[in-house]
Every structure is written in C-alpha cells, then in structure tokens.
C-alpha cells in the first residue's frame, strides 16, 4: 500500500526500513504469505489436500518455519534443502525430495533420513528398486503438456530434462514389477505461470489414466505453476475456479480408483512472491542521448529474474507516490548490462530516493550471488507491524572466509 509518507509495507514505510536495516534490502510481508496459503487451502477444501512449499523459491528458515506452522510441508530439490528443512524442525515425513540429475549417493543419503523420494529417471528408479525393494517412493511423470510463461520455466514439454516420459511407462511398469516396488505417489509439474485450468485438468487426466496401474497410491501431486500478477493490470491463475474444477475431477477419479487419495500441490512463487519487495537506493541519475538511467545500489546479482527470464517486476518510487512522472530505465551497479526495468514511468526521482521492486519474494534472494564481490543484502520479515531481521547483511569477510590465505590490508 502507499500513502503520503511513501510506500508502506506491513505497516512500515520503506524509508524507515532502509534507515533501520540498510540498503539494498529484501522485505517480506508475513500477512501476504498467510493470505496466499489460506486462499489455496480454501480453494481445495472439498478434497484431502496437502500443500508442500517449494523452498527453492525462498529458503530463508523464517519463511520455512512460518509456512510449516500454517500447515505446509516442504518440497526439496537438493540434499541441502532437505537438511535445512530438517534443521528447522520439520519432520522427515513432511518433506518430499524431488531431485534432478543428482548422484545416486545424494539420493541414498536423503532416503536414509526417512524422506520420501520422488524419482524422475528410469535409471534411478531401477537402482532404487535394487537397493530398497518395496520401500515407498513416488514417480515424476512428464505428461508432454506445455505450461505457460517463459521457455525456461516450462518443464512438461517433450524436450524437458524433468520427469519420466509418459511414453516410457511400459518400461517403468517392468521395473516396478521386477522389484516389487511400492509406488505411493504420482507427480507432475508442467511449468510456471499457468493460467488455464484446462492445462491442469488435461495433465491430471494423464495421471489418472496411469494411476490405475499403481494399486498402492496414497497421493497424486500436481506440482504447481500458478501465475501471480506482476504488472498492475496483469492476469493471474484463478485458483478458486481451478479448485472447483480439479476437485470435482479428482473426487470422480477417487471413486473410480476405489478409495480416497490425497491431492498434493507444491506452490512456491504463489505463496511468497507477492509478499516480497527489494528496496534499493538511487545512486545516480544519468542522462544519455537516448534515455535517463536511474542507477541503484542493487542489480542482477540481487535480482536475476529480469535478465534471466525477461521478467517484469513493477518498480515504484517508494518516497512519494504522487507527482510528476518521468520515464526512466532502472539499472544496477554491476559491471554488466543489468537492467531491472526499461522505460518505466516513475514519480520523479532524486539521488538518494528509495525504489521498491515488487514481487521479489520468490527467486529473488534465492538466486542472488556475490558477483563483482558485492555482498548479498539483509532480509526482513514483517509480522503484525513488527520488522524482524531474518538474515543479516553479508560482509566481505563472509565472502573471503572460504578462500583462506587472506591478509587484511595487504595488496597483492
């Protein structure tokens, strides 16, 4: 929200947050996370629903704990994510491990901790059967249905590295039968930014058709991919409509299958994206023959999505919400072309102003780096109007600590 004091986040002005915690700064509004969780849970209230938070979107332990308190489990994609979740006190039975192209040793290490493995490779499936026999596992299917969004976030097409192709099911069944494997879940994820409920239903029907050959199922996992609005007039997935249509189809399937199963989702972006802001200070205003650049103390090293996915993030002048607008191209301080937003209409800015980049709660800090030897920013969570530091600002000492043989004050 905004008022005459500038942008307010969870009851705190952007200026007050930067004055307290510094710039650049990631800020998350906890009430938005709660809103998104309950919205999805309510949309699927007719079925036995389980939500697993895709922690790759934002792996801060305060976010993990908050979502687990709300009722979410964890979708993890590396042994390090699994160990992070376990260290947060999240039980192994609340974690699903869905790796891709990792070593089998990594899989063994995770499964031996009691975490359910979701297998997306025939070779891994066979090795798992040989080693564990009838130990429960799940299988990730590639339904060859294309989701929405940028090509890099589509994971259900025929050229994707994710999942076992539906055309390889006969091979899968031979392995399952040979090792008497207990397949407790079928999984798919067609990609992100899916708008049409029909895409989910079409992919669901693929899994329903396959499910009849797996008598031990406990759940069917539809991944996620819900689109959130990035632009002021953007469209988003109608999860309420999806809940009605998919729940009805799922209940019909359960009746056909002969018993009630759980319906799982693995939302990440949907739960945390809209809660997040990247606050960054204007360092310079640079006029060129073609445009006016607003240089900032952030950049692609702290928000990669605009350069990686050509993603749009709304940018506003957090100091003043009304006034004369100018056209700016907002860029970072990295020695690369690191455009955060081109040709944006912002209320006229001055050097030292705070800009707020919206929808930065997912794949923002999680994809940040120390490129150009610039430390990563702090993270703050706001709950009930109180701002809490949930990650301190990184320092150069933190970066150099892993390198060794560093002599302070000695030029080399």
Q: What is the pLDDT along the chain (412 residues), one digit of tens a residue?
A: 544 568 999 999 999 999 999 999 999 999 999 999 999 999 999 999 999 999 999 999 999 999 999 999 999 999 999 999 999 999 999 999 999 999 999 999 999 999 999 999 999 999 999 999 989 999 999 988 765 444 443 444 467 788 999 999 999 999 999 999 999 999 998 765 667 777 788 888 989 999 999 999 999 999 988 889 998 888 888 999 999 999 999 999 999 999 999 999 999 999 999 999 999 999 999 999 999 999 999 999 999 999 999 999 999 999 998 999 999 999 999 999 999 999 999 999 999 999 999 999 999 999 999 999 999 999 999 999 999 999 999 999 999 999 987 666 544 4
Torsion angle in degrees (nearest 10) through CA of 92, 98, 102, 104: 60
DSSP state of 377: P
Size (the chain), residues? 412
Could you tell me the pTM of the whole model? Answer: 0.92
Is 189 in contact with 143 (CB distance < 8 Å)? no
The angle, 0 to 180 degrees and rounded to 10, between the axes of the packed helices 61-70 and 30-43 is 40
* Start-end of CATH 3.20.20.10 domains in the chain: 30-269
Neighbours of 58 (CB within 10 A): 29
Rounded CA-CA distance 337/98 in Å is 34
**Topology given in CATH for the domain delimited by 30-269:** TIM Barrel (3.20.20)
Rounded CA-CA distance 28/356 in Å is 12
Q: Indicate the SS3 state at residue 400.
A: helix
C-alpha distances out from residue 373 to 25, 130, 145, 313, 396, Å: 17, 46, 41, 25, 7
Within 13 Å of residue 250, how many CA atoms lie on the same side as its CB?
24
Is 184 in contact with 220 (CB distance < 8 Å)? no
Whether residue 335 lies in the annotated active site: yes
C-alpha distances out from residue 409 to 57, 84, 406, 412, Å: 38, 36, 9, 10
Choose, from 88, 101, 333, 335, the residue flagged as catalytic: 335
Rounded CA-CA distance 262/35 in Å is 23
Dihedral sign computed on CA atoms, order 131, 137, 143, 145: negative
* Start-end of CATH 2.40.37.10 domains in the chain: 2-27+273-400
**Topology given in CATH for the domain delimited by 2-27+273-400:** Lyase, Ornithine Decarboxylase; Chain A, domain 1 (2.40.37)
Is 86 in contact with 113 (CB distance < 8 Å)? yes
Rounded CA-CA distance 142/202 in Å is 13
């Amino acid at each position: 929200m905004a008022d005459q004091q500038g942008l307010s986040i969870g009851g705190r002005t952007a200026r007050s947050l930067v004055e307290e915690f510094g710039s650049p700064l990631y800020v998350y509004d906890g009430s938005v996370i709660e809103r998104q969780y309950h919205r999805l849970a309510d949309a699927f209230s007719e079925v036995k629903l389980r939500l697993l938070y895709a922690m790759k979107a934002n792996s801060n332990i305060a976010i993990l704990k908050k979502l687990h308190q709300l009722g979410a489990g964890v979708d993890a994609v590396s042994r390090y994510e699994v160990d992070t979740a376990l260290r947060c006190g999240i039980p192994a039975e609340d974690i699903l491990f869905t790796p891709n192209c990792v070593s089998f040793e990594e899989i063994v290490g995770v499964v031996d901790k009691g975490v359910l493995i979701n297998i997306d490779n025939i070779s891994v499936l066979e090795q798992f059967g040989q080693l564990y026999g009838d130990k429960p596992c799940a299988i990730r299917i590639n339904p060859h249905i294309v989701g929405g969004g940028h090509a890099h976030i589509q994971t259900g097409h025929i050229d994707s590295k994710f999942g076992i192709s539906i055309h390889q099911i006969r091979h899968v069944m031979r392995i399952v039968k040979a090792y008497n494997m207990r397949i407790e879940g079928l999984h798919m994820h067609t990609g992100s930014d899916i708008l049409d409920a029909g895409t989910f239903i079409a992919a669901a029907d693929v899994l329903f058709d396959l499910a009849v050959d797996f008598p031990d199922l406990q759940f069917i996992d539809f991944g996620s991919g819900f689109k959130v609005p990035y632009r002021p007039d953007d469209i988003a997935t109608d999860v309420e409509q999806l809940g009605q249509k998919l729940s009805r189809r799922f209940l019909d399937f359960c009746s056909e299958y002969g018993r009630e199963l759980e319906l799982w989702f693995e939302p990440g972006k949907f739960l945390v994206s809209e809660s997040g802001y990247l606050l960054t200070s204007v360092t310079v205003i640079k006029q060129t023959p073609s445009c006016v650049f607003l240089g900032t103390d952030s950049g692609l090293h702290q928000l990669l999505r605009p350069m990686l996915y050509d993603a749009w993030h709304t940018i506003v002048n957090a100091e003043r919400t009304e006034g004369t607008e100018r056209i700016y191209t907002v860029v970072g301080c990295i020695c690369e072309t690191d455009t955060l937003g081109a040709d944006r209409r912002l209320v006229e800015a001055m050097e030292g102003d705070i800009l707020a980049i919206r929808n930065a709660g997912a794949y923002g800090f999680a994809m940040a780096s120390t490129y150009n030897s610039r430390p990563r920013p702090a993270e703050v969570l706001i709950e009930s109007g109180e701002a809490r530091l949930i990650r301190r600002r990184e320092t150069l000492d933190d970066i150099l600590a892993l390198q060794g043989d560093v002599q302070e004050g000695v030029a080399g």
